[in-house]
Structure 1
Amino acid sequence: MPPVAMDHLPHYDCGVVLTGSAGRIREGFEVLALKKIDKLIVSGVYKDTKLHQIFPLLPYYPEIQSDDIVLEKISGSTYGNAVQSLQVVETLKCRNILLITSHLHMYRAYKTFRENFPNEIQISPYVITASIHENSYWDVMTEAFKSLCYPVITLIPWLFFS
């Protein structure tokens, strides 16, 4: 899907922003502030983190209500993001979501979410502009490796801890 300018986005029930690189969370809050989504799920937040710590600029966004933000604090991987976000999405009764992550991460994230979400829930990718540091050779190679091996990697805990 080609990138869509934020002001041309249709409306979604929920946005799911995946933590992990600079700019993702800020972009999620911008989409929420523009009322393109009703609820924002920030997936993969460290367990002791408070809202003001991940987005200290919140007081400057009077159009955002803290009730419209859910911090998902259980997941530690893209697979975990998908599984844990699904529980929140279902609780909020979201029928369509905007998946917000970086260009480098989107292929694997979208594929993982699509495999774990029911077909009735529409998932639309929203790619944010990559930071200058995200497209290093090492980052690209790491993401390529993860994309190729992710189906096997996600089975490791199941194989050893079931």
Structure 2
Amino acid sequence: MIRRLVAIPLIVWALGFVWFSIALPQPAARAQTDAIVVPTGSGGRIERGLEILQTGAAEQMLVTGVDTTVQPAEFQAEFDVPSRIMDCCVTLGFSALDTRGNARETAQWLEDRDYNSLRLVTADYHMRRAALELQDQLPDDTSVTRDAVKSQASLDTLFLEYHKFIAVWVLQVLG
């Protein structure tokens, strides 16, 4: 009896990890949104956000979680952002230190601009947790398009992110 009580959660946990690792979120199709939000982190995120912004699929882009030592001109040079795009359409957010902070910074930024739709651009392994954190901070009527950037995440990264995702999910269910 005790073995079954222990085995069932372990099997659920293991199957969940397999699902989490194999069925990673995918890039989104072209869709118009008010804004693009890109949490800093693994490569390809900012480039993907800028690519979408420059096609006119959104009015503005927030890069959330930028290190406080980064200057806008440095960002512009590193990512080869045209001045006309940088000046009108890119906001660097410096207040977030983690994914939960990214969600808070994003919610405030959207509210300040009266936006109600966004495209979340982040790594495939990070998408589920980032979207959960956002869901917790945004009004119910805010539409979020998930646009995952393909990664080459290691097993360690997937393992850690799976547990962070579970923790956020449990806290939201209990909270």
* TM norm structure 1: 0.82
Q: What corresponds to 1:25 in structure 2?
A: 46
TM-fit CA distance, 1:151: 5.8
Q: Kindly tell me the number of residue pairs found equivalent between the two proteins.
A: 148
Q: What corresponds to 1:106 in structure 2?
A: 127
TM-fit CA distance, 1:48: 2.2
Q: What corresponds to 1:144 in structure 2?
A: 162
TM-fit CA distance, 1:107: 0.5
Out of 28, 35, 55, the position equivalent to 1:34 is: 55
Task: Write the distance in 2 (CA, Å) between the matches of 1:35 and 1:57.
Answer: 21
Report the 3-state secondary structure (helix = DSSP H, G, I; strand = E; otherwise coil) of the residue aligned with 2:31: coil
| Identical aligned residues as a percent | 24
Report the 3-state secondary structure (helix = DSSP H, G, I; strand = E; otherwise coil) of the residue aligned with 2:27: coil
- The 8 Å contact of residues 38 and 120 in structure 2, kept in 1 or not, is answered as yes
Task: Write the distance in 2 (CA, Å) between the matches of 1:88 and 1:4.
Answer: 22
Which amino acid in 2 is paired with 1:22?
G
In the alignment, does 2:146 pair up with 1:122?
Answer: no
Q: What corresponds to 1:3 in structure 2?
A: 27
How is 1:53-68 mapped onto 2 (pairs within 5 angstroms)?
53-56=74-77, 61=82, 64-68=85-89
Q: Cα gap change, 1:4/1:149 in structure 2, threshold over 3 Å: closer, same or farther?
A: closer
Q: Cα gap change, 1:103/1:57 in structure 2, threshold over 3 Å: closer, same or farther?
A: same
Moved over 6 A (4+): none
Consecutive unaligned residues in structure 2, runs of 5 or more = 1-24
In the alignment, does 2:64 pair up with 1:43?
Answer: yes
Between 97-106 and 143-152, the greater mean CA deviation after superposition: 143-152
Q: Which digits, 9 at most, give the CA deviation of each residue in 1:20-48, with x for residues without a partner? A: 11111111111111111100000000112
Task: Write the distance in 2 (CA, Å) between the matches of 1:101 and 1:113.
Answer: 12
Task: Write the distance in 1 (CA, Å) between the matches of 2:80 and 2:40.
Answer: 21
* Aligned-CA RMSD value: 2.2
- The 8 Å contact of residues 25 and 55 in structure 1, kept in 2 or not, is answered as no
TM-fit CA distance, 1:76: 0.7
Task: Write the distance in 2 (CA, Å) between the matches of 1:77 and 1:153.
Answer: 16
Q: Cα gap change, 1:146/1:55 in structure 2, threshold over 3 Å: closer, same or farther?
A: farther
TM-fit CA distance, 1:99: 0.6
Between 44-53 and 59-68, the greater mean CA deviation after superposition: 59-68
Highest CA radius of gyration, 1 or 2?
2
In the alignment, does 2:94 pair up with 1:94?
Answer: no
Report the 3-state secondary structure (helix = DSSP H, G, I; strand = E; otherwise coil) of the residue aligned with 2:140: coil
- Greater fraction helix: 2
- The 8 Å contact of residues 82 and 116 in structure 1, kept in 2 or not, is answered as yes
In the alignment, does 2:100 pair up with 1:75?
Answer: no
